[in-house]
Structure 1
Amino acid sequence: MITMEDIIREGHPTLRKQAEPITFPLDNDTKELAEDMLEFLINSQTPEIAEKYELRPGVGIAAPQVDVSKRLVAVHLPATDSEDDPDEFSKILINPKIVSHSVQQTCLADGEGCLSVDRDVPGYVPRHKRITVEYYDLDGNKHKERLREFPAIVVQHEIDHLNGVMFYDRIDKDNPLALPDGIDVLGAVEEE
């Protein structure tokens, strides 16, 4: 079982490396790592387990965050009441890549966080509002998914980890709370 002690923190060189593509068929270690990463996310979102093992809640994790420089990501987004993304998105993505994206950008109103960053980093992180991602599952089957808004943000954040990019690299250094023109802010409270 992965715990917070297994997650490396900012400053560790693995977080700045370009992760290696994974070849098929998968070896048992890679399969087990993938399943453990997804299990960590589910556990981190289960209050009793998270409290017992002192897990910070996470919706995504990339293999480099557990010091394995491979192109492997797990994402666990439970179903919501939102009309935009009502379905659960709980997947292991091997060798994921964004094959198309919208011009329109979005960001989270409260900024982004990361299991590998133990501090608040204020600022907006511009992301593509919609993406199409291709990836392989554990059996080597190729998939193509269209994602929008929060799921798209999460997958972009995790793919950044595979490329040695931290979320705060995308924040405007000179004016972290400046919003680019036309950006859609997710989670912002509408004024009446």
Structure 2
Amino acid sequence: MTEVLQVAQLGNPVLRQPAQLVDNFLDKHLQQLVDNLIATTKVSSGVGIAAPQVSESYRLLIVASRPNLRYPHAPKMEPTAMINPRLIAHSPDMVKGWEGCLSVPGIRGLVPRYRAIEVEYISRDGQKHRQEFTDFVARIFQHEYDHLDGLVFLDRLESTQDIITEQEYQRQIVP
């Protein structure tokens, strides 16, 4: 049965620990975790989530871009589980964009990220994939990938001047 999981908040030590590699891709617990992460992302109006955010220290993330209350202009894609993902190439150019995080509620930051990336990952059925992402979806991947290394978006800010509350973001930036 699919369950919406509690999201670990900034200050929880699990968010600052490197996650462990997954060795059994077809493990029943892992498959249930994938379903629960997708459900948690939908209910939370997120566009992605990483296993450490629900206190599961695995190298597993979900990219699930879709328009919602928090990201009204997000492109639509099917939720994709990525096990043991690796960033294997990136564009030379970086672009700043606003990010929020389910683990850092109420705050957004203007974060520099690579505009285009190439990644490898194992899908939930154990198949290896290589894929390119650009713009917002590349940003989601990089944000979630950071969680696997114990980083949050605040660690990537160039200045504390690049922080805004969610309320001001909705008032100033979204319209």
Q: Tell me the equivalent position of 1:70.
A: 58
- Shift of the 149–31 alpha-carbon distance from structure 1 to 2, 3 Å rule, reads same
Q: Secondary structure at the match of 1:120?
A: strand
The answer to whether residue 83 in structure 2 is matched with residue 97 in structure 1 is: no
Find the partner of 2:153 among 167, 172, 192.
Answer: 167
Amino acid at match of 2:56: V
Q: Secondary structure at the match of 1:99?
A: strand
Find the partner of 2:46 among 49, 58, 64.
Answer: 58
TM-score by length of 1: 0.75
Q: Distance in 2 between matches of 1:114 and 1:174?
A: 16
Q: Secondary structure at the match of 1:125?
A: strand
Q: Tell me the equivalent position of 2:22.
A: 22
Moved over 4 A (4+): none
Give the fraction of aligned pairs with identical amino acids, expressed as a percent: 37
The answer to whether residue 4 in structure 2 is matched with residue 2 in structure 1 is: yes
The answer to whether residue 109 in structure 2 is matched with residue 107 in structure 1 is: no
Aligned length: 157
- Shift of the 143–65 alpha-carbon distance from structure 1 to 2, 3 Å rule, reads same
Deviation at 1:175, TM superposition (A): 4.8
Q: What is the root-mean-square deviation in Å for CA atoms of aligned residues? A: 2.1
Look at both structures and tell me which one has the larger radius of gyration over its CA atoms: 1
Q: Secondary structure at the match of 1:112?
A: strand
TM-score by length of 2: 0.82
Amino acid at match of 2:15: L
Q: Give the strand-richer structure, 1 or 2.
A: 2
Deviations 1:30-87 (A, max 9, x none): 1100111112223x2xxxxxxxxxxx310000000000100000121138xxxxx966
Unaligned runs of 5+ in 2: 68-73, 164-172
Q: Distance in 1 between matches of 2:37 and 2:160?
A: 35
- Shift of the 31–114 alpha-carbon distance from structure 1 to 2, 3 Å rule, reads same
- Shift of the 86–65 alpha-carbon distance from structure 1 to 2, 3 Å rule, reads closer
Deviation at 1:26, TM superposition (A): 2.7
Contact (CA 8 Å) 2:65, 2:75: kept in 1 or not?
no
Q: Tell me the equivalent position of 1:131.
A: 117
Contact (CA 8 Å) 1:41, 1:75: kept in 2 or not?
no
Q: Secondary structure at the match of 2:83?
A: strand
Find the partner of 1:150 among 136, 151, 158.
Answer: 136
